[in-house]
Structure 1
Amino acid sequence: MKNIILLAGLLSICSLTASAQSPQLWNNKQCAVVLTYDDAIDVDLDNVIPALDSMKLKGTFYLIGSSPVVDKRMPEWRLAAKHGHELGNHALYHPCDGSLPGRSFVSPDHDLSKYTVSRAVSEVRLNNTLLKAIDGKTERTFAYPCGDLSIGGVLFYDQLKKDFAGARGVSPGMQTAANVKLDNIRCYGINGQSAEYMINLVKQAQQSHTLLVFLFHGVGGGHSLNVDLQAHSKLLHYLKNNQKTIWVAPMVDVAKIIAAQQASKTAIPKNIMKN
């Protein structure tokens, strides 16, 4: 009898593993692709959103609250949210750890290494208040400025987990929903890569039934980290032409379905683990 119970438990585990990798998870499609755009710059509104809207694709735009582009073009951001794009939180001042190599661009006032955890948390929450005033929404995701996770060895996002559906990092990788860490979602930063490179990433995600997140800054200019406008357009056309098998959605929607899937995983009964 014990052997039968053990076998049933192993079959259950296999079933859960298969379910975690099932293409049915991603809104009944092979994979999920999230298009994210950082820093709230003019090209987001001038180049990206018109391109996405023309194909009825939705993206996530991580806004820095202090950006003059947020202030001067607020009605356009509000319209973008109304059209289904996510306005994500990229902190109020985009603080980065200036103590790290290659960080000469970090200003002393917004050097994360000189922040307290409470200051960082307060500024992120203040940015949430601003974003809610723009789009009226209470659910969104966060993106770590410069990918910096900690202050003095303390993971500041630990105090923000209840404020967001998830947080995007900067490390590359594709993962099944079961393996995604919602406090540091992996992504592929794009800076000069070709359309073929980006489309090949999508094809890999389709084959492996995984989550693929793109991280863009400039699109057709506007930032030192940039992707060619035509290359970006080719990627969007591939996604549109394969929408029957690819789920393209804002990060908040994908994070919520991942959280639900992870929460639904059934724990292995203790008696199964007994010999």
Structure 2
Amino acid sequence: MNKTVLILLLVCLSVCGAQAQISWPDGKKAAIVLTYDDGLKSQRDIVMPQLEAKGFRGTFFLYGQVVKDSDIPEWREAARRGHELGNHSLFHPCLAGTVETSSSSLCRSLECYSVKDMLTEIGMMNSFLYAIDGKKEHAYAYPCGQSVAGGEDYSRPLLDSGLVKYCRGAAGRHVVEDAKTLNFALIPTLPALTGCKADDLIKYVQDALDKHGLGIIVFHGVGGDYLTVDAAEHQKLVDFLAAHSDEIWVGTFSDVLDYVAEQAKK
């Protein structure tokens, strides 16, 4: 190969790689999104005060079956304070055997759903959330991280339906590095499992920093409820993020993904 052509090829590859990297606002090197599933009491009692003390806001994915009338004023007030409320479906359907089945005679497992059924349920939950926070658009998180209804993947039909713009999907340690290749129907996340330690979560945050990427963490209970992470471990993570606020953007799911979507267009 001609030496000049080879040099030009290498330069092109270098430039293309640089363009793929997300350029974060205000000189930040990475973004971290803290998400919380199932609308649990410990999230309102423990998580929100920890976040707000550092000026942070989280994203809380609610499902209709667990939001009691008495909880609605608290969730409405949380949204007013800047926390994001997300759609986690009405009945939290998962594949059979993933979680304990309900005593109800109705089938609530994903095997019993069609894609149309799932989209209808998500649309109904959007209306429920609108009644709480007054917002017409809500992000979505797949219950149990599963996007197959009746044997068919509903992630792309959901995004194409316009019901939601962003879907939090597959679990793993994957950090989002390239806005242009991100599948907004299956955005990866790191689950903080029972007994998870802050050191492990901080390693994930550091990975996002090293890669100038986006990291998304999902919690359930914090200091209580189920799938519980100790409140002190959660506080250590929040403290680390606050100590590095000059280089890490801690934002809500939709705010950060709105920015990433704009980057993907460039």
Q: Do they superpose with TM above 0.5?
A: yes
- When the two chains are superposed, the root-mean-square deviation of aligned CA atoms in Å is 2.2
1:88–1:141: 8 Å Cα contact kept in structure 2? yes
Q: Which amino acid aligns with 2:167?
A: A
Matches of 1:52 and 1:104, distance apart in 2: 29
1:142 aligns with 2:140: yes
Partner secondary structure for residue 171 of structure 2? coil
Aligned to 1:269: none
Q: Quick check: 1:30–1:246 contact (8 Å CA) kept in 2?
A: yes
Superposed displacement of residue 133, structure 1 = 1.2
2:107 partner amino acid: D
Equivalent pairs counted in the alignment come to 256
Q: Is the 8 A contact 1:177 1:261 kept in 2?
A: no
8 A contact 1:55–1:240 mirrored in 2: yes
Structure 2 residue aligned with 1:133: 131
| Cross-structure match for 1:166 | 166
User: How far is 1:51 from its partner?
Assistant: 1.3
Separation in structure 2 between the aligned mates of residue 206 and residue 256 of structure 1, nearest angstrom: 20
Whole-angstrom CA distance in 2 between matches of 1:248 and 1:105: 34
Runs of 4+ displaced beyond 6 Å = 3-10
Q: Given the alignment, which residue of 227, 230, 248 partners 1:246?
A: 248
For residues 1-275 of structure 1, the aligned pairs below 5 Å read 11=11, 14-22=14-22, 24-25=23-24, 28-69=27-68, 71-98=69-96, 102-103=97-98, 105-107=100-102, 109-161=107-159, 162-172=162-172, 173-178=174-179, 179-191=181-193, 192-223=195-226, 225-264=227-266
1:242 maps to amino acid: H
Distance in structure 1 (CA, Å) of the matches to 2:119 and 2:146: 13
| Cα distance in 2, alignment partners of residues 80 and 96 from structure 1 | 27
Deviation (angstroms), 1:90: 0.2
- How far is the alpha carbon of 1:4 from its aligned partner? 9.3
Letter of the structure 2 residue corresponding to residue 17 of structure 1 = G
- 1:14 offset after TM fit, Å? 3.8
Rounded Cα–Cα distance in structure 2 between residues aligned with 1:104 and 1:147: 12
**Which piece of structure 1 moves more, 108-117 or 233-242?**
108-117
| Gap regions ≥5 residues in structure 1 | 265-275
The structural deviation recorded for 1:157 is: 2.9
The percent identity for this pair of structures is 36
Contact 2:155–2:186 (Cα < 8 Å) also in 1: no
TM-score normalised per structure 1: 0.86
1:180 to 1:4, Cα distance in 2 relative to 1, 3 A = same
